[in-house]
Structure 1
Amino acid sequence: MPNPRIEPLKKVLAVDPNDEVAWFGLGKAYMEDGHFEEAANALRQCVTVKPTYSAAYYAWAQSLHKLGRLEECRQVSDQGIEVSKKNGDAMVTKNLEMLKGTLPA
């Protein structure tokens, strides 16, 4: 059964396509359902709308990792580490560094 949060979030985005919180929520809901391609697309849109949304970079990188898109995962992780350090989001920085550490050299 699809995540019950998906349709309401899509409705919010139909009204306001620049709602970064809705994009993030949609991405996370897709991740919970194992739909990592849709998650990656929603989370990419989240950081397009709000490039300083640290947690979205981490979720986006996780989705790419699940999809086996490791070079893209590395790039998003690098961007996210830069953003999260600027924001002072130490936990996001740590999580991105740990995820990046699992990638092959």
Structure 2
Amino acid sequence: MRESLEKMLTKGVDNPLLRFGLGKAWLDEGNAAQAALHLACCVAQDPKYSAAWKLLGKAHQLQGDLPAARKAWEDGILAAQAHGDKQAEKEMAVFLKKLNKTSG
């Protein structure tokens, strides 16, 4: 799956959906650093892509970059609110709450 997405990117296809797919694939494979690169591209191309913000926060969290995770989820909540994506907003609010508890 990831390989075919990588081939599309190599051929010059680049859009938020492709970047989201690559980010999720890398995250599923346990490579948070590669996931974060693609998810950051995704939200740069489409700042309202709340699902990408959610996964970007997760990728940063898995790398131990808690400030970046917090920022991604805060930005993601704003994007979700602007887009009316209540579920993503709620999930990221829970992630932030847990992050704030663990990091003080």
TM value normalised by structure 1: 0.91
Gap runs ≥5 in structure 1: none
Matched, 1:50 2:46: yes
Residue 66 of structure 1 corresponds to 62
Counterpart-to-counterpart distance in 2, 1:11 and 1:91:
32
Read off the aligned partner of 2:79 and give its amino acid letter: V
Matched, 1:77 2:76: no
Q: 1:21 aligns with which of 17, 24, 44?
A: 17
Structure holding more helix per residue: 2
Paired positions, count: 100
Matched, 1:91 2:97: no
Counterpart-to-counterpart distance in 1, 2:13 and 2:45:
11
Q: 1:33 aligns with which of 19, 25, 29?
A: 29
Query: Following TM superposition, where does structure 1 have runs of at least 4 consecutive aligned residues deviating by more than 4 angstroms?
Result: none
Gap runs ≥5 in structure 2: none
Quote the offset at 1:16 in angstroms.
Answer: 1.7
Identity rate, percent:
30
Read off the aligned partner of 1:49 and give its amino acid letter: Q
Cα distance per residue 1:42-91 (max 9 Å; x no partner)? 10000011111110000000111111100111111110000001101011
